[in-house]
Amino acid sequence: KGRRNQRGKNRGCVLTEIHLNVTDLDLGYETKEELIFRYCSGSCDAAETTYDKILKNLTKKKKLVTDKVRQACCRPTAFDDDLSFLDDNLVYHILKKHSAKRCGCV
Amino acid sequence: EPVLTKGNNCLDAAKACNLNDTCKRFRSAYITPCTSSTSNEICNKRKCHKALRLFFDKVPPKHSYGMLFCSCRDVACTERRRQTIVPVCSYEDREKPNCLNLQEICKKNYICRSRLADFFTNCQPESRSVSSCLKENYADCLLAYSGLIGTVMTPNYIDSNSLSVAPWCDCSNSGNDREECLKFLNFFQDNICLKNAIQAFGNGTDVNVW
């Protein structure tokens, strides 16, 4: 299941979700609670802005000194609501900005 | 040794809550103020209470009652159930006031006064009725009880062995009003209507209401 990027191009960059145990996150918590983790994945190959287009063209022509110019990446543009859970020692924890809500090529 | 090791109904309810966007959001919305310590206090009790009221107002009973009224067979479960409302912030206080004094404070507040009245109406025990409730309606009793959470009369389970509940008060220093005070306190602690209502929800036996 995933949601399409609304902006037309870069249809490959989508929100995907996976059902996990909190312990699967490897953040050091001991708990039996679970969560839905949403992440952004997919290609951002179709250049989205003129800036990206220029970078691509200049890279092709080898006009840039630095060989590694960053292309647009499929990343969260907004995060999901906070997640709270009770650990095995009866202590509450809250995770912030842990899961994506919307994705975009940025 | 961790207290919570095996699975239980209260854990299942917590899992279900975090898989539901509404429940997850309003749960975090009260866990945050109820666990954030301020400069000289454990938490901001007023903000914690407000967020708890919002949780029970906005989250469908399937999820909110699922965590508050889950049925338990071991301490891991009952301890988790007791922690649902974050009692260290929302419930406990440095001193235990007299229950009649607490009732007076409650009556000065519009929300508390009306919700306490609802509780006394809808959880009135009646030994001759099948349900043990005068109103014969468990859902209304549970709604009235959960409505008190987030007021000065916030109740919670008092131990891990039973379904006995009480607000944070006792009947010491009652003077001549001792009998009246005990009557008030026992309406929480020893209420067969409320206990049956909680049990029926936990066991999923009150089918016509949900």
Residue A7 three-state SS: coil
pLDDT of residue A3: 45
Calculate mean pLDDT across residues B60-87. 95
Among the listed ranges A71-75, B64-68, B81-85, B125-129, which one has the minimum average pLDDT value? A71-75
pLDDT of residue B69: 97
Cβ burial, residue B146 (10 Å; 0-12/13-18/19+): buried
ipTM computed for the complex: 0.89
- What are the φ/ψ torsions at residue B20 (nearest 5 degrees)? -110, 125
Please count the residue pairs, one from chain A and one from chain B, whose beta carbons lie less than 8 angstroms apart: 63
User: Chain A window 30-89: which residues touch B at a Cβ cutoff of 8 Å?
Assistant: 30-36, 81-89
pLDDT of residue B70: 96
Of B187, B209, B188, the residue nearest B200 (C-alpha)? B209
Q: What is the mean pLDDT of chain B?
A: 93
User: Residue B151 pairs with which residues in a beta bridge?
Assistant: B149
Q: How far apart are CA B61 and CA B146, in angstroms?
A: 10
Q: How far apart are CA A18 and CA A36, in angstroms?
A: 6
Partners of B86 on chain A (C-beta within 8 Å) are 92
Q: A19 vs chain B: nearest CA distance in angstroms? A: 8
Count CB-CB contacts under 10 A for residue B179. Answer: 10
pLDDT > 50? residue B97: yes
pLDDT > 80? residue B3: no
Task: Say if the Cβ atoms of B11 and A92 lie within 8 Å.
Answer: no
pLDDT of residue A49: 83
pLDDT of residue A42: 92
How does pLDDT run across B117-165, given as a tens digit for each residue?
999 999 999 989 888 999 989 999 999 999 999 999 999 999 888 999 9
How does pLDDT run across B174-195, given as a tens digit for each residue?
999 999 999 999 999 999 999 9
pLDDT > 90? residue B206: no
Q: How far apart are CA B126 and CA A94, in angstroms?
A: 43
pLDDT of residue B101: 97
Q: Which residues contact B140 (CB under 8 A, 6 or more apart)?
A: B122
Low-confidence ranges of chain A (pLDDT < 50): 1-7
Task: Say if the Cβ atoms of A85 and B19 lie within 8 Å.
Answer: no
- Residue of chain A nearest B79, judged by CA positions: A90
How does pLDDT run across B6-53, given as a tens digit for each residue?
579 999 999 999 999 999 999 999 999 999 998 888 999 999 999 999
CA angle (A31, A36, A40) in 5-degree steps: 130
Partners of A90 on chain B (C-beta within 8 Å) are 3-4, 79-80, 83
- Residue of chain B nearest A31, judged by CA positions: B4
Task: Say if the Cβ atoms of A94 and B18 lie within 8 Å.
Answer: no
Cβ burial, residue A63 (10 Å; 0-12/13-18/19+): exposed
* Packing angle of the helix pair B138-147, B110-122 (nearest 10 deg): 150
pLDDT of residue B1: 44
- CB of A12 closer than 8 Å to CB of A43: yes
- CB of A103 closer than 8 Å to CB of A14: yes
pLDDT of residue B6: 58
pLDDT > 50? residue B209: no
Cβ burial, residue A70 (10 Å; 0-12/13-18/19+): exposed
pLDDT of residue B48: 98
pLDDT of residue A68: 67
Residue B95 three-state SS: coil
Q: How far apart are CA A48 and CA A105, in angstroms?
A: 8
User: What is the dihedral sign for C-alpha A24, A26, A30, A33?
Assistant: negative
B21 touching A (Cβ < 8 Å) = yes
How does pLDDT run across A32-53, given as a tens digit for each residue?
999 999 999 998 887 678 888 8
pLDDT of residue A4: 45
Tokens of B120: 């006394």
Calculate mean pLDDT across residues B71-86. 95
User: Chain A window 16-35: which residues touch B at a Cβ cutoff of 8 Å?
Assistant: 19, 30-35
CA angle (A94, A98, A99) in 5-degree steps: 125
